[in-house]
Homo-oligomer: A and B are copies of this chain.
Amino acid sequence: MAELQNDRFLRALMREPVDRTPVWIMRQAGRYLPEYREVRARAGGFMDLCSNPELACEVTLQPLRRFRLDAAILFSDILTVPDAMGLGLYFEAGEGPRFERTVRDAASVDALPVPDIDSELRYVTDAVSLIRRELHGEVPLIGFSGSPWTLATYMVEGGSSKDFRHIKAMAYDAPEVLERLLAKTAQAVTAYLNAQVEAGAQALMIFDTWGGALAHHLYPRFSLSFAEQIIDGLIREREGRRIPVVFFTKGGGLWLDRIADCGADALGIDWTLSLSEARRIAGDRVALQGNLDPSTLYAKPEVIREEVARTLEEYGFGSGHVFNLGHGVHPQIPPEHVAAMVDAVHDLSPAWHEQ
């Protein structure tokens, strides 16, 4: 493997000194880029793109050609694991992801196979290996998965949901059945993330997109504890280097003190909590990644620059901050606005890392 030329991202996740704040963008390979839309049209459906390692590699690298980013992230979908568990993932135009089969009772939970990553998800690990090779050590490659709770919301509801009625009823009426589903999913996710590391991923991120929909007393039981099980089982060193793990519960700001003990090296933070407050709560337990409101990128470039300045100032002096949005970049954002954000991080962040 080519030697890593830019390790700012990995160093910041370990709170080691850096010359400036590293930056990447959730969904940086996505529909806001015309070159992505071109490849996607060529591929056919969204899953055709995800399951083709060459095309997945191509779109993963696209944003790095445009912007001075400090990390690449595997292009894939969070629902590959439940799909490999036989639920039949498909996408309907304008409807988001759907599953042909749902998992709502003990029998269907117990019937779910733990997927054989090497065969069922080979297209993902092949993409990781290829991307890693094609990066030539330029920046580190992030592998990822959805959290068990977040994956289970789709498995139980059969798709996206506003009220999570089936899974929440299950949480109340049959908590031990839901726990079996989450445990099985956690086992699959652990194997999946470790396979990504073995294929070349240099950092891992776990997206708990829907953890914030849980009631405060259920979040630790049904989301956090299964994320912890995964983190406990991950390969944490490879090629003589730490594999840092980022855990992100969107809408989890109120629970940050508890989440900071989950075993991750860093936590994602959304835009409802200031980084100064998040840093005060997290102390020296974890690094922080975030947290510009993605809608900020609808504003004028001058305003975007001011908001980057504010965000950097909120984190303050020293390492331990990875600049990012507080959630994925929206499809309608002009790429020049993304460039304004990335450039501002390059220009303004060195001042926060001088001795």
Complex contacts, A253 vs chain B, CB 8 Å: 254
Are A163 and B300 neighbours in the complex by a CB distance under 8 Å?
A: no
Which of B163, B166, B298 is close to A168, meaning CB atoms less than 8 Å apart? B298
Smallest CB separation, A323 vs chain B (Å) = 15
Q: Judge if A67 is at the interface, Cβ distance under 8 Å.
A: no
| Segment at the B interface, from A110-118, A231-239, A271-279 | A271-279
Are A169 and B271 neighbours in the complex by a CB distance under 8 Å?
A: no
Are B273 and A169 neighbours in the complex by a CB distance under 8 Å?
A: no
Complex contacts, A277 vs chain B, CB 8 Å: 216
Are B165 and A300 neighbours in the complex by a CB distance under 8 Å?
A: no
Q: With A294-B163, A330-B165 given, is the CB distance from A172 to B303 under 8 Å? A: yes
Are A298 and B254 neighbours in the complex by a CB distance under 8 Å?
A: no
Contact residues of A between 166 and 217, Cβ < 8 Å to B: 166, 168-169, 172-173, 212, 214-217
Complex contacts, A168 vs chain B, CB 8 Å: 293, 295-296, 298-299
Are B215 and A271 neighbours in the complex by a CB distance under 8 Å?
A: yes
Are B295 and A163 neighbours in the complex by a CB distance under 8 Å?
A: yes
Q: Complex formed: what's the CA distance from A172 to B273 in Å?
A: 18
Complex contacts, A294 vs chain B, CB 8 Å: 163
Which of B166, B217, B300 is close to A274, meaning CB atoms less than 8 Å apart? B217
Number of copies: 2
Are B165 and A310 neighbours in the complex by a CB distance under 8 Å?
A: no
Q: Complex formed: what's the CA distance from A173 to B215 in Å?
A: 35
Q: Judge if A138 is at the interface, Cβ distance under 8 Å.
A: no
Q: Judge if A251 is at the interface, Cβ distance under 8 Å.
A: yes
Q: Complex formed: what's the CA distance from A310 to B273 in Å?
A: 28
Q: Complex formed: what's the CA distance from A254 to B273 in Å?
A: 7
Complex contacts, A172 vs chain B, CB 8 Å: 296, 298-300, 303, 307
Complex contacts, A217 vs chain B, CB 8 Å: 274, 310
Q: Judge if A352 is at the interface, Cβ distance under 8 Å.
A: no
Complex contacts, A165 vs chain B, CB 8 Å: 295, 298, 330, 332
Complex contacts, A32 vs chain B, CB 8 Å: none
Are B303 and A272 neighbours in the complex by a CB distance under 8 Å?
A: no
Q: Judge if A317 is at the interface, Cβ distance under 8 Å.
A: no
Q: Judge if A164 is at the interface, Cβ distance under 8 Å.
A: yes
Complex contacts, A272 vs chain B, CB 8 Å: 212, 214-216, 251, 254
List the B residue with the shortest CB-CB distance to A303.
Answer: B172
Smallest CB separation, A268 vs chain B (Å) = 15
Smallest CB separation, A179 vs chain B (Å) = 16
A interface list, Cβ under 8 A from B: 163-166, 168-169, 172-173, 212, 214-217, 251, 253-254, 271-274, 277, 293-296, 298-300, 303, 307, 310, 330, 332
A-B contacts besides A172-B303, A215-B296, A216-B272, 20 pairs, CB < 8 Å: A163-B295, A164-B295, A165-B295, A165-B298, A165-B330, A165-B332, A166-B298, A168-B295, A172-B298, A172-B300, A172-B307, A173-B300, A212-B272, A214-B272, A215-B272, A216-B271, A216-B274, A217-B310, A254-B272, A254-B273
List, sorted by A's number, 24 A–B pairs whose CB atoms are closer than 8 Å. Answer: A163-B295, A165-B298, A165-B332, A168-B295, A168-B296, A168-B298, A169-B299, A172-B296, A172-B300, A172-B303, A173-B299, A173-B300, A173-B303, A212-B272, A214-B272, A215-B271, A215-B293, A215-B296, A217-B310, A251-B251, A251-B272, A254-B254, A254-B272, A254-B273
